Amino acid sequence: MSVPRTWADAEPLRLAGRPRRLVPLVVGYEAVAESVSVHGGSSFRYLMEPVTAVAVVFDEGWALIDGGFDPARVRDRDQRVASFDYENYAPIVPAGDPLVDQVAEAGLDWADLAAAAITHAHFDHTGAARLLGPSQPLLMQAREWRHVNEVDDARMAFLFIDDLVRPGLSIVLLDGDTDLAPGLRAIDTSGHTPGHQSFVVELPDRTVVLAGDAADLHRNVVECVRCGSTVGEHGAERAASAIRRLAELDARPGVEVWPAHDPEWGPWREVVESRR
């Protein structure tokens, strides 16, 4: 495995111009207790939450935010049993390779992918690392990378290190808020995990903030309620700051915060309803 580089030492991303459009992608599902998504929510009620990703398309080139599960882990029985042996948890990946298929249907070429960025390292977000070439870095926060490497029991922390430790994968580490390209900025929304980040995308007609799991549901944003699942001693308080930051952005004119796992959120629903 190559040693991760810092953003300061990395080449600029192969993106030109500005973000022109977003392509929402639904790449799987998972049943999640409401209390995991919403602090104070029910631990009895389960939601069938979409696992999502977004392609950010520039004048030239595109970037991928998150990437769902690696379908091989779900399709192969031995891998599935070894990977997802959690109480009350089942990953769902619809037929085909939803990420690869939807990217192709959007008319995007993997050769034009400049980078993939993950909001955080949970296994329902790291699956796109398998598709990256050596010149297509995976961007994550340095604090997340440290967490991945320091955690005692990776599986119980919902981390599949094998997704991130691949020959030829180049990892680039960000340190807090970072301008990635004109119109694309990573912002610190830690708490759900130690290095959780969200992405601010300035489109021609509006600004979209891809919240990741700092706001699984739109309800987190409108009610300003933090996520239910946090990591570490200061996780809950950081997650509370993160949701305040996202709610404040959402209140600005022309800004929309997109919750990563909300089954009712329009862009994800449109993807689901357009497919058979």
Summarize as ranges the residues that interact with Zn ion (CB under 5 A): 124, 213
Query: In DSSP terms, which residues pair with 92 in a beta bridge?
Result: 29
Q: Least distance from C-beta 17 to Zn ion, angstroms?
A: 30
Q: Least distance from C-beta 251 to Zn ion, angstroms?
A: 24
> Running DSSP on this structure, what letter comes out for residue 213?
G
CA separation, residue 117 to residues 53, 73, 145, 205 (Å): 10, 21, 13, 23
Distance between CA atoms of residues 155 and 170, nearest Å: 23
Q: Which is nearer to Zn ion, 122 or 143 (CB)?
A: 122
Q: Least distance from C-beta 124 to Zn ion, angstroms?
A: 4
* Residue 174: φ, ψ to 5°: -100, 155
Q: Which is nearer to Zn ion, 114 or 271 (CB)?
A: 271
Q: Which long-range contacts (CB under 8 A, 24 or more apart) does 262-265 make?
A: 262/49, 262/50, 262/216, 262/217, 262/218, 262/219, 263/47, 263/48, 263/49, 263/50, 264/218, 265/218
Give the number of other CB atoms < 10 A from CB of residue 154.
17
Q: Which is nearer to Zn ion, 7 or 144 (CB)?
A: 144
Q: Which is nearer to Zn ion, 58 or 268 (CB)?
A: 268
Q: Which is nearer to Zn ion, 70 or 213 (CB)?
A: 213
Q: Which is nearer to Zn ion, 125 or 143 (CB)?
A: 125
Q: Least distance from C-beta 18 to Zn ion, angstroms?
A: 28
Distance between CA atoms of residues 208 and 174, nearest Å: 20
Structure tokens at 244: 């305040």
State the distance between the two ends of the chain, measured CA to CA, in whole angstroms: 39
List, in order, residues 6 or more apart from 197 with CB less than 8 Å away.
117, 119, 120, 140, 141, 144, 174, 186, 187, 188, 189, 190, 212
Q: Least distance from C-beta 53 to Zn ion, angstroms?
A: 11
Cβ atoms of residues 246 and 211 within 8 Å = yes
Structure tokens at 7: 């953003």
Q: Which is nearer to Zn ion, 49 or 250 (CB)?
A: 49
Q: Least distance from C-beta 107 to Zn ion, angstroms?
A: 27
Q: Least distance from C-beta 99 to Zn ion, angstroms?
A: 14
